[in-house]
Amino acid sequence: MERFQALSAGEERRVREVFAQVPFPRLLGLRLEELGPGSCRMSADMRDDLRQRYGVMHGGVIAALVDTAVAYAIYPQIPPGREITTVEMKLNFLSSVRDGGRAVARARVLRLGRTLAVCSCDVGDAQGKPVAVALATYMVIPAPPSVPLPGASTDAAATRARKMVPPDGIEPPTQGFSVLRSTD
């Protein structure tokens, strides 16, 4: 099993605090197992509510695991006042995760530039059998003013995260984006 280079205790604590504020990984039961500069290992156990109709782990769970693991591989390396967002992700499924199984994602930053990060992520089961492989691109952006900076979390931010309420000033998906509308 590949060992990651360790982050400093303070840096790891900061990243884990940020992870704990995000409700979606908790919903899926994602576990942040190991962090390093440019690397992350994260896992999800198979549960009844994560199955698709054929009884195996839903591909969307694996995609979310990949997306989240990649984000936390990048996160410790970005400068203060910056955030990241997924631009593109290519995911190939190789096999399935079955009853009593576990998906384990190992994400690595391949290249981190000023505005883009390119990462790879391998997903295996608990025995190391390949489940999926992904290549992802993230954009490094200025942190929105309503998002608390890491290490500067407030009680209000923690309450929003627990209740899954969007931060003040951020409206549903159209804010900051051009919306193309059909004219027919």
Supply the pLDDT for residue 99.
87
Supply the pLDDT for residue 27.
94
List phi, psi (to 5°) of 37: -65, 110
Mean pLDDT of the chain: 83
Q: In the predicted model, is pLDDT for residue 173 greater than 60?
A: no
The predicted-structure confidence for 56-101, as pLDDT tens digits, reads as follows: 999 999 999 999 999 999 999 998 889 999 999 999 999 999 988 9
pTM of whole model > 0.85? Answer: no
- Residue with the bigger pLDDT between 24 and 180: it is 24
pLDDT band at 160; cut points 50, 70, 90: very low
- Of the candidates 71, 67, 62, 64, the one whose C-alpha atom is nearest the C-alpha of residue 94 is 62
Residues with Cβ < 8 Å from 128, sequence gap 6 or more? none
Strands 31-36 and 39-45: antiparallel
Q: Which two tokens stand for residue 151?
A: 């290490």
pLDDT band at 6; cut points 50, 70, 90: confident
Domains of the chain: 9-163 (3.10.129.10)
